[in-house]
């Protein structure tokens, strides 16, 4: 029987903060769990909004890479901000990381526990 889904795990990204996978490959899609500004040892990166956002994108990119994808393969992203006053700065960083063909996106304010941003994504990686 063919594998229906494959979990993705990499030491190059922050470990999950609970009982969930960093990512899951299902068919031609990679689902990346919400990434936060935590370091590979699980500690929180203390820093500016920009520093925390860059660390979050680094985690997202590392998990994508472990699944054989890149951020250029993203078709959807969800961004959770503790403070909507950071929206414009996040927009600039989002454009930097996703380039000229960004994924669709939802951005909402969320009561994040001790960090400024969380981002999850769905990537499309056709095997044919």
Q: Where are the domains of the chain?
A: 6-124
Give the whole-angstrom CA distance, residue 62 versus residue 14.
9
- How far CA 124 is from CA of 10, 102, 106, in Å, comes to 19, 13, 18
Within 10 A of 96 (CB to CB), how many other CB atoms are there?
11
- How far CA 30 is from CA of 3, 47, 103, 123, in Å, comes to 14, 29, 14, 5
Half-sphere exposure of 38 (CA within 13 A, CB side): 19
pTM for this structure?
0.94
**Residue 3 confidence (pLDDT):** 67
Q: Which residue(s) pair with 109 in the sheet? A: 81
Percent of the chain with pLDDT over 90: 94
Better pLDDT: 111 or 127: 111
Pick 6-124's CATH classification: 3.30.465.10, 3.30.1330.40, 3.75.10.20, 3.90.1150.10. Answer: 3.30.1330.40
Confidence of residue 83 (pLDDT cuts 50, 70, 90): very high
């Amino acid at each position: 029987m063919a594998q229906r889904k494959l979990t993705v795990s990499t030491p190059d990204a922050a470990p999950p903060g609970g009982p969930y996978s960093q990512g899951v490959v299902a068919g031609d899609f990679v689902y990346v769990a919400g990434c936060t500004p935590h370091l590979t040892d699980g500690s929180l990166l203390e820093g500016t909004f920009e520093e925390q956002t860059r660390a979050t994108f680094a985690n997202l990119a590392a998990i994508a890479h472990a699944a054989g994808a890149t951020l250029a393969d993203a078709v959807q992203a969800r961004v959770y901000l503790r403070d909507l006053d950071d929206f414009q700065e996040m927009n600039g960083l989002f454009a930097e990381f996703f380039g000229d063909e960004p994924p669709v996106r939802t951005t909402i304010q969320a009561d994040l526990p001790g960090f400024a941003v969380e981002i999850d994504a769905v990537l499309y990686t056709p095997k044919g």
